[in-house]
Structures are given as C-alpha cells and as structure tokens.
C-alpha cells in the first residue's frame, strides 16, 4: 500500500476525540499542586481506509533474543503489513489500538523497527549487542500506531524539546501480562512528558478495556484512587532505568507531573497529525520506512 494512500480524514466510522475541561495536571504527587485550564479544540484524526477493521496474524522470524529476531504482522492473505502505519489508531469513544512491544515483568527491550520494511518488532541493540532493561518493567509497554513524535517540532509547552522521531509510547497498567505483538484496545488516562537526553518522549498511561478494573478509571484522579502510587512509580521507573548503565536520570517536563486525560488526548491527536504529514511526505522521512 503506498504510504500516501493510507491517510484520510476521519469520517463517519471514526469518531472525533471528545475532550473535557478538567484541569490537566494532578496535584497529589509529592503534595504539590499545579492546575490550570486546558482549552483544547476537537481535531480530525487520520487513519487507513484500506484495513480499517484489520484482520492480521503475527509471524515470527528468527529466534527470540537474537539479532535476527523479528515479529512481522501479516494480513489474511499472508501479505506483510506495517503495525506502525497499517493498524488504525482510533476506534471511537476515546479508545485506541495499542501494540505491545514489551510485556510486563520482562526486560528484553523490544521496539518497532521504524527504519525497516514493514516496521516489524525487534530487540533494540547498542554497539551490536542486544539491549535489556536493568530490571523488569512492571507494566505492558508499546506504541500507538499512526502516531509520530516530530523531531523538527519544538514543543513550547515542554521546554522547547523536539520529538524523539518515534511513535508515541504507552504504559498499560492492567493486571494481565500481554504478549509481544498483541494489539489491545485501551483508553488513555494520563500522560508524562519524559525528556530523554533532551528529546521529548511522551508516555501515555492507559488501561486495556479487557482489564477487570477498566470501568473504574476514566481520568487521572481515578488512577490515583484505584491504582495508588502507580503514576509516581511509572515516572520514577523511567527516570531511573538508565542509571545502572552510568547515564544520568531522565527528566520530565510539565512540572515533573502527570497530566490528565484531556492532555493525553491532545498529545495523541497532535502525534497522529504529525504521522499523517510524514506518510504524505509533507515532512522529510529520512531513514524511516513508510511501507
């Protein structure tokens, strides 16, 4: 599928994100309080018409925890598709597809290979060696398809930081350990603006709709109530995970706090708009694969 044909404006089968008017930041962490109004307008979301209701399977190539290991996505005809570009983002009613890269309670640093054809999942490397977190991650972790953090855009709300050139990350706080390549329907609850060596790397905190506690949480205050300490734990985990390798701690924008659902939806919408420009080649893709 040509990249330019993937992008269409949302139509009747894609519900435009509904935003609310609550204050965007939680004020409970560390007894600090930061609240102000967040005026966000509705925007069109972009998606892929050809496989809006995709049926696909996972095809593994190579052995796990080797340099050659890849997890491809294929449609019912056996044709490879891109999990980043071809799986739709938005499902309506503020529900999104989330692709699991790293299951909770695991440490192999899997990621979407944004520079390879069909963008399969692979284990990240550094200096030719496979990368692992120094300890297990405590939540399911992965990406939102059809999103992109634009490295040419300086975000004025987060210290003028530029995007990290990757899809938006999701931290899914449900109780079940998902599988690599599994696609979950999630609802966003909050977001953290992580600054990784100066690059903006959003973390959307979400929960899978199939989790038994999903109906209890709709926004950031619900997370504090039903998953106490989780937002702080997520922030601290991503702040500190590079320290054992001798690197400095990561930093966070937005006053070092998690922002609420409204703000998370704003981040997702803007990243989807950036992705749409990317696949329409309105922005230079560099080494990124658009297939």
Pairwise CA distance, residues 105 & 135, whole Å: 9
* Contact yes or no for 264/18 (Cβ under 8 A): no
Distance, C-alpha 12 to centroid of its chain: 25
Is the Cβ–Cβ distance between 187 and 214 less than 8 Å? yes
User: Choosing from 133, 135, 141, 263, which is the catalytic residue?
Assistant: 133
Phi, psi of 272 (to 5 degrees): -70, -40
Find all residues with CB under 8 Å of 55, minimum gap 6, and list them.
75, 76
- Alpha-carbon span 234 to 207, nearest angstrom: 14
57: β partners: 74
**CA–CA separation, 7 vs 128, rounded Å?**
35
Query: Would residue 133 show up in a list of annotated catalytic residues for this protein?
Result: yes
Angle subtended at Cα 15 by Cα 18 and Cα 119, rounded to the nearest 5 degrees: 105
Q: Are 25 and 34 in contact (CB under 8 A)?
A: yes
Could you write out the three-class secondary structure of 251-274? Answer: EECHHHCCECHHHHHHHHHHHHHH
Q: Are 216 and 226 in contact (CB under 8 A)?
A: yes
Q: Which residues are catalytic, by number?
A: 133
């Amino acid at each position: 599928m040509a990249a330019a044909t993937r992008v269409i404006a949302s139509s009747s089968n894609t519900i435009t994100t509904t935003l609310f008017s609550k204050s965007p930041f939680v004020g409970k962490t560390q007894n600090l309080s930061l609240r102000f109004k967040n005026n966000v307008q509705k925007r069109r979301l972009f998606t892929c018409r050809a496989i809006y209701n995709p049926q696909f399977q996972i095809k593994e190539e190579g052995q796990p925890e080797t340099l050659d290991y890849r997890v491809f996505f294929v449609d019912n005809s056996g044709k490879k598709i891109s999990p980043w570009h071809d799986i739709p983002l938005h499902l309506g009613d503020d529900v999104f597809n989330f692709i699991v890269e790293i299951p909770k309670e695991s440490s192999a640093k899997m990621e979407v290979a944004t520079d390879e054809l069909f963008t399969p999942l692979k284990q990240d490397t550094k200096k030719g060696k496979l990368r692992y977190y120094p300890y297990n991650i405590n939540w399911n972790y992965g990406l939102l398809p059809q999103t992109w953090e634009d490295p040419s855009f300086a975000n004025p709300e987060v210290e003028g930081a530029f995007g990290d050139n990757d899809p938006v990350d999701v931290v899914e706080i449900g109780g079940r350990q998902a599988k690599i390549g599994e696609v979950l329907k999630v609802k966003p609850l909050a977001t953290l603006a992580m600054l990784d060596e100066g690059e903006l790397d959003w973390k959307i905190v979400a929960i899978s709709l199939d989790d038994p506690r999903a109906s209890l949480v709709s926004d950031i205050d619900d997370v504090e109530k039903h998953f106490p300490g989780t937002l702080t734990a997520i922030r601290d985990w991503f702040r500190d995970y590079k320290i054992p390798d001798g690197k400095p701690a990561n930093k966070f924008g937005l006053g070092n706090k998690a922002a609420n659902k409204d703000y998370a939806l704003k981040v997702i919408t803007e990243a989807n708009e950036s992705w749409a420009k990317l696949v329409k080649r309105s922005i230079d893709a560099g080494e990124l694969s658009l297939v």
